[in-house]
Structure 1
Amino acid sequence: MTASTATSGRVATGGHPQRWLILGVICLAQLTVLLDNTVLSVAIPSLTTELHASTSDIQWMINAYSLVQSGLLLTAGNAADRYGRKKLLALGLALFGIGSLTAGLAGSTGQLIAARAGMGIGGALLMTTTLAVVMQIFDDSQRVKAIAIWATIGSLGFAAGPLIGGVILDHYWWGMIFLINIPVAVIGLAAVLKLVPESKNPKGERPDLLGALLSTIGMTALVYAIITGPEHGWTSAQVLIPAAIGIAVLGAFAAWELHIPYPMLDMHFFRNQKFVGAVAGAILVMLGMGGSLFLLTQHLQFVLGYEPLEAGLRMTPLALTIVVLNLSGVGPKLVMKIGTAPAVAGGLTLVAAGLTSIALLGGGTDGAYSGMLLGLVLMGAGIALTSPAMANAIMSSIPPEKAGVGAGINGTLSEFGNGLGVAILGAVLNARFAALVTVTATSLPAALAAASGTAERQKIADAFATGLQTSQLVGAVAVFVGGLLAAALLSRAERAERRAAAANGAANGAASGSAGGSANGSEPAGGSEDPVSAA
C-alpha cells in the first residue's frame, strides 16, 4: 500500500510516530487563519485614516476573507481528498503567506480587499486539510484528544483576534497584523513538507466540477446575505435576492449530488442520525458564541466605554477556559467517559447558562463585569466539552477517504453558525432597541454621537443594554432546546451503533464456531477454542 491511501503514515498504536509534532504545526497554521477572521476589526480606525477607506471599503475588507473562505470550504475539502491533503495544505500555506504579504504592503483599499480574498482561498485550503490530516495521523485511542486540541486552537484564534490586533496596533502600523503571518507561513510550509505524510482518496473518483461550482456559488450567496443583513435590513432586496439565489443554487447542488455516481458531497450522510445531531450541535455552539461575542464587544466599547484592547482583555476568559480545559485533558477525558450525546447535552446547557448569566447579571450599563465573567467562563466550559465531541462525531460518520469533505462540512458549519448567530441575536437586539428608543442613525455609535445630551445618550445606552439582554436570553433558549434535540439524535445513533456492533459480534462468533466445528469433524463448537466463549 502506497502513501496515497487514506491510512498511510499510521503505525500499530497511537497513529503516526511524529503525530504530536505534526499536530503542533497544524495548529499553528490553524491559529493564524482563524485570527484573521477577527483581527482586522480593531484596525478599522487606522485603515479609515491612512487608506481613506469608506464604510463600504471597510466592510469589504472584513467580509472578503470570510466570504471567499466559506464559499470554497466544500470544494477545497473535495480537492484535498482527490489530489492529496499534504499538497493542498502546503498550497494553502503558500497562498496565505503571499496574500498576507500583499495585504501588509497594500497601498489602496482595492489592493487590500483583493489580498484578503486571496488569503481566503488559502484559509479554505488550510481549514479543510488540517482537520483531515488530524484524522489520518491519530488512531481511535487518541483522536478525541487531538481534535480537542485542534478545536481549542480554533476557539482561541476566534476569540483572541481583537486582543492580538490591539497589542500589535499599540506598537506598529496596521500592516503588521498581516506581515506577522509570513514567518508562520514559511515555518509551517517547511514543516509540512518535511513531516506531514501524504494521504488522499485511493479510489481516484472523477472530479465533480459542476458540484464544486454550485456549492461555491450557493454558499457564497447565502453567507453574503447573512453578513450584509444587519447593514441593509433583513427584508431588503440586497439581502433577499442573494439569499434566494443561495438557497436555490444549494437546492440544485443537492439534487445534482443525488443524481451523479461520484458526488462531491454524499447527501446520504444526512440520513445518519449521528451526523445530523453533530451538525445541529456544531451550528448551535457557533450561534451562541459568535452572536454573543459580536454583541458583547459593542457593549463593552460603546456602552461601557472601554478601548478595543481593554474590551479584548475582558473577553479572554472565554478563550482561556477552553484552552485550560482542553489542553489539560479534562474536556477530552470527560467526552470519552460519558459519551458524545451526554457531552453535547451538558456542553450546550453550559453555553445556554452562560448566555443567561450575561443577560441577567452582566448586560446592564452600570459597568458590572462579574456577571459577564461568569457567563464567559460557563460558555467556555460548554464549548470545551461540546466542540471536540461534535467534530469527532461528524468526522467519524464519514468514510476516512472523504476526510477532506468532512472537514469542509465542519468548517462550513462553523462559518454558517457564526453568521447565523450574528444575524439572529443582532436582529433581536435591533428590534428591542428600536422599540425602546427612536433614532434615525443606523448604528449604535452613530446614535450616541447624534444624541443631544447626557440624558439622551444614557437612554440610548440603556436601550442597547436591554436589547442585549433580550438577545442573549433568546440565544440561551435556542441553544438549550436545540442542544437537547441534537443530543437525542446522537443518543439514538449511539444505541443503534451498539446494537449493530453486538449483532455483528454475535454473527462473527457464530460463523467462527461453525467453521471450527466443521474443521474438527464431530468435535462440538463449544470447546476451549470457541471464539464466542473466549470473547
Structure 2
Amino acid sequence: MHRRRWAILGVLMLSLLIVVLDNSILNVAIKTIATPAPTGLGASQSEIEWAINAYTLVFAGLLFTSGLVGDRVGRKKVLLGGIAVFGIGSALAAESGSPGQLIAFRALMALGAAFVMPATLAVLMNVFERDEQPKAIGIWAGGVGLAIAIGPITGGALLDHFWWGSVFFVNVPIVIIALVLMLWLVPDSRDPRPGRLDPVGVVLSVVGLVLLVYGIIKGGELADFTDAKVLASIVAGLAVLVAFVVFEKRSDHPSLDVTYFKNKVFSAAMGAIALVFFALMGVTFFGVFYTQSVRGYTPLQSGLLMLPLAVAQMIFAPRARLLVERFGNKATTTAGLLLVATTLAAFATFEADTPIWLLEVVFFLMGTGMAHIMTPTSVVIMQALPREKAGSASALSNTFRQVGGAFGIAVLGSVLATAYRNGIEGKLGLLPPGLRERAGGSIEATLGVVEKLGPKGQALITPANNAFLHAMHVTALCGMGVALVGAVVTALFLPGKPPAGQHDSEEAQLVVAAD
C-alpha cells in the first residue's frame, strides 16, 4: 500500500480533470464556434460534430494501445508524454483559423488524452489495495463529475470575456502544474508481462469507426440516409469493423481481447457504459442549442444551468458503492438507467416557455442516474480482470464510453439535423436557393440568415424555434429508447446482491471468468 496514495489520487484527478474538462468546456462554446467570423469560425453543424468526434474517435481508437504502451514502457512516462502532447494540441486549437484546423488540432489533443486516461486508472489500481479500490474509484468518478461541473461554467465565463479559443488555451497552465506534480509524486509501474502492440488492429478500428460515423453524420447533414455516399460509408465502416473483430480473434496479441466478452457480467457492464454515454452526449449536444438559441441564455448562464447535472454526480458518485453494497450491482445500475430514461422523456416535453426550474430538476436527476451507473460498472469492469491488466481494463471501459459518446453525437445529432431540416424547409421558400440550403442546416444557421436579412427575416424566428423544439423532442425520445435498452441489458446480465459472506468468492470467480 503506497503511503502517499491519496496525494497521488489528487494528482491523477488533476490530469483527468483537463481531459474531461475539455469536452464539457467545448459544449457551451458550440454555439459561439458556429457563429460567423470574427466572433466564431462559422462552423456548420456537421463541422461542429466533427470537432467533437475527431477528439472522441482518435481518443477511443488509441486508448487500448496506449494502455498497453503504459503497461510496457511505464505508466508515469506515458502520463507525462500524454499530458505534454495534450497541452501543445490545446495551444494550437486555440489559434485555429478555420473549422478544418480546429478539427485537426482536436485530433492532436485526443492523441495526448488517449495516453492520459487509462494511465490514471492503472496507477490508481496499483497504489490502492483491493479493499480501498471501490472508494478510490468512486472519488475518481466524482472527479469526472467535478470536471463536467467546472467545464461549462469556466467555458461560459471565458466566452463572456475572451475570444472563443480561450476555452482551449485555459488547458495550458493546468498542464504545466500537472506535469510538475506528477514528476514529484507519481510512482512508475508496469506490467511484468506486457502484451505486444497491435498496429493492424488499431488502424482497422479507427478506420472502421471513422467511416461509420462519417456516414451517419453525412446522412444527417443531407437529411437523406439513402444517399449513395452515405450508404457506401456506413457499409464500408461496418465491413472494416467486422474485419477488425475477425483479426483480433485470430491474433495472438490482440489490442482488443475478444475473450473478455465471454463473461456476461463484463459485457453487460461495458454495454451499460456505452449506452448511457450514447444517450447523454446526444442530450448535451441539443441542450446547448435549446438554452442558448431558443431560450436566449448567454454561454455563462448556459453553463450554470448545467451545474445540477454535475453537482448530482459529485454528491452521488462516491456514495454509489453504499447502494451497491445494500442492493447489488444489478438493482443500482438498472435503476440508474431507468432514471436517465425518465429524464430524457422529460426533455421531450420541453417548450420555449417551460419553467427553467424544471430543466434544473431534470439535469439533477440525470446526474444522479449517471452516478449510479458509472461507479458500479467501473468497479465491476476493473475487478473483473487481474491487477496487472488494469491498463487494459481501464482502456476498454474508456473506449466503450468514448465510442458510445461518439455514436450518440453522430446518431442523435443526425436525428436532430434531419428532423430540423424537415421542419424548417417548408418555411424557407422566400429565400434565394443558396441561402435556403444554408439556412436549413441548423437553428444557428437559420438565425444567422435572419440576422443578415434584418427586419425581413424576423418572421423566420418562430418557425425556427418550433422546428428545433420538434427535432429536440424526437431526439430525446430516441435517447430514451437507448437508455431503456441499457436497463434491460443490466437487469438481465449484471450480478444481483451476493448472499452474505459470498462477496469475496464471487469476486474471485469474476477474475477467473475474465482472465
Distance 2:507 2:406 in 1: 43
Matches within 5 A, 1:151-190: 151-158=141-148, 160-190=150-180
What letter matches 1:412 in structure 2? T
Report how far residue 376 of structure 1 moved: 0.9
Are 1:26 and 2:12 matched, yes or no?
A: yes
434-443 or 129-138, which deviates more: 434-443
Distance 2:107 2:119 in 1: 19
- SS of the residue corresponding to residue 131 of structure 2 reads helix
Distance 2:507 2:447 in 1: 66
Identity of aligned residues (%): 38
Summarize the Cα distance change of 1:48–1:357 in structure 2 as closer, same or farther, 3 Å threshold: same
Q: Which residue of 2 aligns with 1:310?
A: 301
Q: Which residue of 2 aligns with 1:336?
A: 325
Q: Which residue of 2 aligns with 1:356?
A: 345
Summarize the Cα distance change of 1:173–1:222 in structure 2 as closer, same or farther, 3 Å threshold: same
Are 1:262 and 2:249 matched, yes or no?
A: no
Per-residue Cα deviation, 1:439-482 (whole angstroms, up to 9, x for no partner):
45121233355576666532432332233233323322431343
Q: Which residue of 1 aligns with 2:441?
A: 442
Q: Which residue of 2 aligns with 1:277?
A: 268
Q: Which residue of 2 aligns with 1:469?
A: 473
Summarize the Cα distance change of 1:160–1:211 in structure 2 as closer, same or farther, 3 Å threshold: same
Query: Is contact 2:90–2:109 with CA below 8 Å preserved after alignment?
Result: yes
What letter matches 2:196 in structure 1? R
Summarize the Cα distance change of 1:219–1:157 in structure 2 as closer, same or farther, 3 Å threshold: farther
- SS of the residue corresponding to residue 132 of structure 2 reads helix
Query: Is contact 1:278–1:486 with CA below 8 Å preserved after alignment?
Result: yes
Distance 1:84 1:504 in 2: 27
Q: Which residue of 1 aligns with 2:336?
A: 347
Matches within 5 A, 1:207-218: 207-218=197-208
Q: Unaligned stretches of 5+ in structure 1?
A: 1-10, 506-535
Query: Is contact 2:217–2:413 with CA below 8 Å preserved after alignment?
Result: no
Report how far residue 40 of structure 1 moved: 3.7
Query: Is contact 2:288–2:302 with CA below 8 Å preserved after alignment?
Result: yes
What letter matches 1:18 in structure 2? R
Report how far residue 389 of structure 1 moved: 0.8
Q: Which residue of 2 aligns with 1:98?
A: 88
Query: Is contact 1:282–1:413 with CA below 8 Å preserved after alignment?
Result: yes
Query: Is contact 1:223–1:416 with CA below 8 Å preserved after alignment?
Result: no
What letter matches 1:185 in structure 2? V
What letter matches 1:445 in structure 2? E
Summarize the Cα distance change of 1:66–1:227 in structure 2 as closer, same or farther, 3 Å threshold: farther
What letter matches 1:23 in structure 2? L
- SS of the residue corresponding to residue 197 of structure 1 reads coil
Matches within 5 A, 1:371-390: 371-390=358-377
Query: Is contact 1:75–1:216 with CA below 8 Å preserved after alignment?
Result: no
Per-residue Cα deviation, 1:332-388 (whole angstroms, up to 9, x for no partner):
32223322111101111111122223333xx11214213222211111111111111
Q: Which residue of 2 aligns with 1:489?
A: 493
Query: Is contact 1:277–1:487 with CA below 8 Å preserved after alignment?
Result: no
Distance 2:472 2:42 in 1: 29
What letter matches 1:330 in structure 2? R
RMSD: 3.2
Summarize the Cα distance change of 1:192–1:459 in structure 2 as closer, same or farther, 3 Å threshold: same
Distance 2:90 2:506 in 1: 53
Distance 2:371 2:345 in 1: 18
Q: Unaligned stretches of 5+ in structure 2?
A: 428-435, 451-455, 510-515
Q: Which residue of 2 aligns with 1:411?
A: 398
Distance 2:100 2:464 in 1: 36
Query: Is contact 1:165–1:177 with CA below 8 Å preserved after alignment?
Result: yes
Q: Which residue of 2 aligns with 1:139?
A: 129
Report how far residue 196 of structure 1 moved: 1.9
Distance 2:119 2:280 in 1: 24
Report the TM-score when normalising by structure 1.
Answer: 0.81
Distance 1:503 1:382 in 2: 25
415-424 or 449-458, which deviates more: 449-458
Distance 1:408 1:503 in 2: 21
Report how far residue 45 of structure 1 moved: 5.9
Report how far residue 94 of structure 1 moved: 1.4
Q: Which residue of 2 aligns with 1:79?
A: 69
Summarize the Cα distance change of 1:332–1:84 in structure 2 as closer, same or farther, 3 Å threshold: same
Report the TM-score when normalising by structure 2.
Answer: 0.84
Summarize the Cα distance change of 1:238–1:371 in structure 2 as closer, same or farther, 3 Å threshold: farther
What letter matches 1:340 in structure 2? N
Distance 1:60 1:504 in 2: 43
Q: Which residue of 2 aligns with 1:479?
A: 483
Greater length-normalized contact order (CA 8 Å, ≥ 6 residues apart): 2
What letter matches 1:243 in structure 2? I
What letter matches 1:414 in structure 2? R
Distance 1:172 1:212 in 2: 38
Equivalent residues, number:
486
Q: Alignment partner for residue 322 of structure 1, among 313, 335, 338?
A: 313
Q: Which residue of 2 aligns with 1:400?
A: 387
Per-residue Cα deviation, 1:41-78 (whole angstroms, up to 9, x for no partner):
51516883178666487665554333322222222222
- SS of the residue corresponding to residue 261 of structure 1 reads coil
Distance 2:139 2:235 in 1: 38
Query: Is contact 1:273–1:493 with CA below 8 Å preserved after alignment?
Result: no
Query: Is contact 2:85–2:111 with CA below 8 Å preserved after alignment?
Result: yes
Query: Is contact 1:93–1:126 with CA below 8 Å preserved after alignment?
Result: yes
Query: Is contact 1:273–1:492 with CA below 8 Å preserved after alignment?
Result: no
Summarize the Cα distance change of 1:179–1:481 in structure 2 as closer, same or farther, 3 Å threshold: closer
Summarize the Cα distance change of 1:120–1:290 in structure 2 as closer, same or farther, 3 Å threshold: same
What letter matches 1:24 in structure 2? G
Q: Which residue of 2 aligns with 1:206?
A: 196
Query: Is contact 1:37–1:66 with CA below 8 Å preserved after alignment?
Result: no
Q: Which residue of 2 aligns with 1:123?
A: 113
Report how far residue 314 of structure 1 moved: 1.2
What letter matches 1:464 in structure 2? F
What letter matches 1:37 in structure 2? N
Summarize the Cα distance change of 1:442–1:188 in structure 2 as closer, same or farther, 3 Å threshold: same
Distance 2:80 2:61 in 1: 20
Summarize the Cα distance change of 1:471–1:190 in structure 2 as closer, same or farther, 3 Å threshold: same
Q: Which residue of 1 aligns with 2:3?
A: 17
